[in-house]
A and B are shown apart, each in its own frame.
Chain A
Amino acid sequence: DTGVSQNPRHKITKRGQNVTFRCDPISEHNRLYWYRQTLGQGPEFLTYFQNEAQLEKSRLLSDRFSAERPKGSFSTLEIQRTEQGDSAMYLCASEDRENSPLHFGNGTRLTVT
């Protein structure tokens, strides 16, 4: 299966700790997105990369959040000094062009205790 891969699938951390998630998009897709989803809600946009360039960031992405896509392939999302409100599913998606389907990974579920 050459779909979008996310690791880890689950992460439990204590408040105040830093966490990092990884996303491997479909290899020929140059557009990559991060979303956050809480229970009973649709995904909320966090940030968007085209190749290695981060072109858009949501206001939801506080300065504790940082995302990178250093070589235009995989991406990482880091959350520093985690808070309980950060508990959510973090989804990564990729697409190859506009108006084409977004391909989602199965997400990383973060629980901050």
Chain B
Amino acid sequence: KNQVEQSPQSLIILEGKNCTLQCNYTVSPFSNLRWYKQDTGRGPVSLTIMTFSENTKSNGRYTATLDADTKQSSLHITASQLSDSASYICVVSKNSGGFKTIFGAGTRLFVKA
């Protein structure tokens, strides 16, 4: 059973609209949670990273939230652009170290003009 579940699996929105992507996890003990953007055919690029004590982190039009009690995170994208079309991957790390990192399957976002 995947310990990091993302929803929705895919999403289509119009340019300029906002959207929110969800990530639920059961990974324990928790170290940090990261959101990555992955364009087709390229490696993931880091958007945000949050540790246990942080409940929100912004990076431009991207805002991530974390509720460590309910083990839920969200990524909110404001004023979407065509270039936001990509997969968004939620990544949760146990304790520490990348080798204990568990990736979600991602949400595929399509932004249409």
Binding site for B on A (CB under 8 A): 4, 31, 33, 35, 40-45, 47-48, 55-56, 58, 91, 93, 95, 98-107, 109
Contact = CB atoms under 8 A, between A and B. Distances in A.
Nearest to B4: A42
B99 A93 contact: no
Interface residues of B, number: 25
Nearest to A50: B97
Contact of B98 (A41, A44, A95): A95
24 contacts: A31-B98, A33-B98, A33-B99, A40-B105, A42-B89, A42-B91, A42-B104, A42-B105, A43-B89, A47-B99, A48-B97, A48-B98, A55-B99, A56-B97, A58-B99, A99-B49, A99-B51, A99-B93, A100-B49, A101-B46, A104-B36, A104-B44, A105-B43, A107-B43
A56 B101 CA distance: 12
Main secondary structure of the interface of B (DSSP, over half): strand
Contact of A42 (B32, B45, B103): B103
Contact of A106 (B43, B97, B99, B101): B43
Contacts, number: 67
Given A42-B4, A42-B105, A47-B99, 6 more contacts: A42-B103, A43-B103, A55-B99, A56-B97, A101-B49, A102-B98
B34 interface: yes
Contacts of B104: 42
Given A40-B105, A101-B34, A93 B96 contact: no
Nearest to B34: A101
